[in-house]
């Protein structure tokens, strides 16, 4: 049995990098959601309405990106989708 250690190292590096990236994007989504909720609680009706919108947009885009990565991973794992 012969192991291709280079390929194993590449798979490990890519897996760690993608995991860290998804965690960071998810954390940014939580931050956007917190900004949105904070702006709503403060009653940002007058000047800060843009902050509320930006927080909601940030959260939506980040969570959508995380869902896309998860869906792509499931696509790669399940052979019936190919």
Question: What is the chain's pLDDT, residue by residue, as a tens digit (82 residues)?
Answer: 899 999 999 999 999 999 999 999 999 999 999 999 988 888 755 555 567 889 999 999 999 999 999 999 999 999 998 8
Spell out the long-range contacts of 41-45 with Cβ–Cβ below 8 A and sequence spacing 24 or more.
none
pLDDT at 45: 56
pLDDT at 4: 95
Give the pTM: 0.82
Gap between the terminal Cα atoms of the chain: 29
Torsion of CA 6, 7, 12, 13, to 10 degrees: 70
pLDDT at 23: 97
Please give the structure tokens belonging to residue 57.
């947009």
Torsion of CA 68, 70, 71, 76, to 10 degrees: 120
pLDDT at 82: 82
Number of residues that this document lists for the chain? 82
Per DSSP, the three-state class of 3 is coil
């Amino acid at each position: 049995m012969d192991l291709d250690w280079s390929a194993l190292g590449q798979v490990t590096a890519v897996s760690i990098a993608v995991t860290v990236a998804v965690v960071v994007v998810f954390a940014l989504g939580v931050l956007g959601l917190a900004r949105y909720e904070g702006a709503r609680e403060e009653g940002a009706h007058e000047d800060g309405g843009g902050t509320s919108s930006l927080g909601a947009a940030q959260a939506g885009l980040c969570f959508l990106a995380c869902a896309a990565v998860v869906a792509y991973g499931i696509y790669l794992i399940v052979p019936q989708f190919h």
